[in-house]
Amino acid sequence: MRRLTILVAMCLTFVLAGSPATAAVTVTFYAHSGNQIRGGWLLFPHAYVTLTGTVDATGEVVDEAVGFTAKFPGPQLLLFSGAGVIERPDALYLSEGRAYLTLRLSDAVYEAVMARIAHWSSPEGSTYSLWRRNCINFIADIARAAGLMTADEDTLSPNGFMTGTAALNPAAAVIPVEADPTRRETPADAGVTAERGR
User: For residue 122, is pLDDT > 80?
Assistant: yes
Say if CB 95 and CB 28 are below 8 A apart: no
Given this model, what pLDDT does residue 89 score? 86
**164-179 mean pLDDT:** 86
pLDDT at 11 over 90: no
Q: So what's the pLDDT on residue 33?
A: 65
Task: Tell me the average pLDDT of the chain.
Answer: 78
pTM as predicted: 0.74
Please state the separation of Cα 3 from the chain's center in Å: 50
Dihedral angle at the C-alpha atoms of 93, 95, 96, 100, nearest 10 degrees? 110
Q: Exposed (0-12), middle (13-18) or buried (19+): which is 68, by Cβ within 10 Å? A: buried
Alpha-carbon gap, residue 68 to 128, rounded angstroms: 8
Give yes or no for residue 74 having a pLDDT over 80. no
